[in-house]
Each structure stands twice: as structure tokens, then as C-alpha cells.
């Protein structure tokens, strides 16, 4: 479960990206984070990925106060989550297989186990036959699928995606979002930031609307503090 407890994030210069946000996201939920640019969506996700720390308040993931994790322990936490980026952040000089294998190599899994899991992840995103290709030879949609395979290969309990369809056309976007839906169906908690409201109507899931760093609605019930 994810819990934000009166979280405020103030950047240098005095701008508040998040203001006194308190909410809870239950395990296995699919949450779409929406709102205009500058609403605080990316900051919200950065908190969950331990890229930013709250200025005030606390962020808990499965009971751990990740806002107060010592620097030397952050890498262990990140091994338990999956991250998908708008620009996919693939290593262009490595093959699709090597890119997807990276989290497992970092985690110290054996070569055999890594191979098995990478092939399974690539199969799930429909790219098993392109495992030896380098990312730049793939389409944008395929590159984003590789990014998703890399995010799920270590079987995370939480998957965070920041505008994963931002660079894709509507058809590919639906394709990618359907992939997320499938992973959510097997119990992965997902927090996805997106501008694409049309997709949300087709996929279901819960909405959390942010504006000016505050929760402004969606399927979130402020009086209950959850969905």
C-alpha cells in the first residue's frame, strides 16, 4: 500500500510542487495521475521512485518510510519497483535482451534465471523475436514495450510510469496501456501519469487529479483519504 501523509515538496526557489498531500492507494490498484502541466504529477512519481524527498510529511510504501531512506539503501528499494519513462531510457548500444536483463543483472540473479525471466517478459510484450536487435532499430512503440518489459522483468509489486504514451500515436498508446492493464490484472500496483483522458475511459482504473500541487478530485475521496 502507498500512503502520502501531509506531503509537501518545495523546490529551490520556493515553488511548492506538492502541497500537503495526504492519500492512500491500496495494493493492486491501477491509478492514473492526471492534471495540467506543472500540477505536480512528476513530483508525485519522483517521490514514489525515491528520486525526490518530501520537504515535509512522509511517504510510505508497504510500511516503509521511503522519504527517510538513507542514500545507501535507496538502490535496494528501487529494485522492488518498476519504472517506465516517456523517453523509455533504453541503452542504445545494448541489445533488447541486455536492456531487459539489466535490473536482474543489477539484482545479482544467475545467468540462467535471468535468461528465463527476460524471455518471459519479452514474450509478454510481443518482442521475443527481436531480443538481439538494438533499440534504435525498433519503432517508438516497440521501444516503449522494451521499457515496459524491463520494468516488469524483476516482478515488482509497484510499477510507476511517467507519461508512457507521451510520444506515441493513439493506436500505439492504447496498445501500451492495455499492456499495463494486463500487468495490473495479475496484482501489480500501478501509478501512471498521463494527459490522455480518452485512454482512461477505455481502460478503467482510478483517477487522481492534481492541480497546483494539490489533489483536486477524480475517483479519490478526500474525506476517506483513499479510493
Partner 1 sequence: MQRLNHYFGLHRENAVTAFHDMFKQPLASALTIAVIGIALALPAALSLLVQNGRAVAGSMEDVRDFSVYLQPGLPLEEADNLAAKLRLKALVDKVSVISADTALEEFRDSSGFDNAITALETNPLPHTLTVRPAAVADGDSLQTLAEELTANPLVDQVRIDTEWVKRLSAILDLLKRSVWIAGILLIAAVIIIVGNTIRLDIQSRRDEIEVYKLLGASNRFVRRPFLYIGICYGVSGGLFGLILLVISALILAGPVETLTGLYGSSFVLQGLNTLTMGSVLGGGILAGWIGAWTAVARHIAAIRPA
Binding site for partner 1 (CB under 8 A): 49, 51, 72, 75-80, 83, 89, 91, 102-103, 105-111, 150
**In Å, how far are 165, 197, 224 from 170, measured between CA atoms?**
8, 11, 35
Torsion of CA 150, 154, 156, 162, to 10 degrees: -10
User: Of 49 and 138, which CB lies nearer to partner 1 in the complex structure?
Assistant: 49
- Asked if 192 and 161 touch (Cβ cutoff 8 Å), the reply is yes
Closer of 111 and 169 to partner 1 (Cβ): 111
Cell numbers given for 10: 518545495
185: alpha, beta or left? (left if phi > 0; alpha if psi -120 to 50): alpha
**Grid-cell match 511517504, residue found:** 59
Which 3 state secondary structure label does DSSP give 136?
helix
- The three cell numbers of residue 9 are 515538496
As measured in angstroms, the least distance from the Cβ of 207 to partner 1 is: 26
The nearer residue to partner 1, 23 or 191, going by C-beta atoms, is: 191
Q: Of 151 and 179, which CB lies nearer to partner 1 in the complex structure? A: 151
In the beta sheet, which residues pair with residue 221?
226
Shortest Å distance, C-beta 13 to partner 1: 16
For the bound state, the minimum distance from the C-beta of residue 81 to partner 1, rounded and expressed in Å, comes to 8
Q: How far apart are CA 23 and CA 218, in angstroms?
A: 13
Smallest gap from Cβ 62 to partner 1, in A, equals 16
93 or 169: whose CB is closer to partner 1? 93
CB of 76 to partner 1, least distance (A): 7
Amino acid at each position: 500500500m502507498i500512503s502520502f501523509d501531509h506531503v509537501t515538496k518545495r523546490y529551490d526557489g520556493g515553488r511548492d510542487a506538492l502541497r500537503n498531500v495526504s492519500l492512500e492507494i491500496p495494493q493492486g490498484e491501477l491509478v492514473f495521475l492526471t492534471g495540467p502541466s506543472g500540477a505536480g504529477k512528476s513530483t508525485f512519481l519522483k517521490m514514489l521512485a525515491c528520486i525526490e524527498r518530501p520537504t515535509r510529511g512522509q511517504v510510505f510504501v508497504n510500511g516503509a518510510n521511503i522519504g527517510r531512506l538513507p542514500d545507501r539503501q535507496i538502490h535496494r528499494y528501487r529494485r522492488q519497483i518498476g519504472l517506465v519513462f516517456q523517453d523509455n531510457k533504453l541503452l542504445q548500444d545494448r541489445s533488447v535482451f541486455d536492456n531487459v536483463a539489466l535490473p536482474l543483472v543489477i539484482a545479482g540473479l544467475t545467468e540462467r534465471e535471468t535468461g528465463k525471466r527476460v524471455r518471459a517478459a519479452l514474450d509478454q510484450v510481443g518482442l521475443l523475436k527481436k531480443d538481439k536487435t538494438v533499440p534504435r532499430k525498433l519503432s517508438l512503440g516497440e521501444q516503449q514495450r522494451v521499457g515496459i518489459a524491463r520494468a516488469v522483468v524483476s516482478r515488482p509489486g509497484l510499477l510507476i510510469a511517467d507519461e508512457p504514451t507521451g510520444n506515441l500515436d493513439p493506436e500505439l498508446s492504447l496498445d501500451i496501456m492495455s499492456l499495463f492493464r494486463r500487468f495490473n490484472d495479475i496484482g501489480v500496483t500501478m501509478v501512471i501519469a498521463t494527459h490522455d483522458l480518452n485512454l482512461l475511459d477505455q481502460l478503467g482504473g482510478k483517477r487522481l487529479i492534481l492541480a497546483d500541487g494539490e489533489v483536486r478530485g477524480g475517483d479519490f475521496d478526500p474525506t476517506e483519504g483513499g479510493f
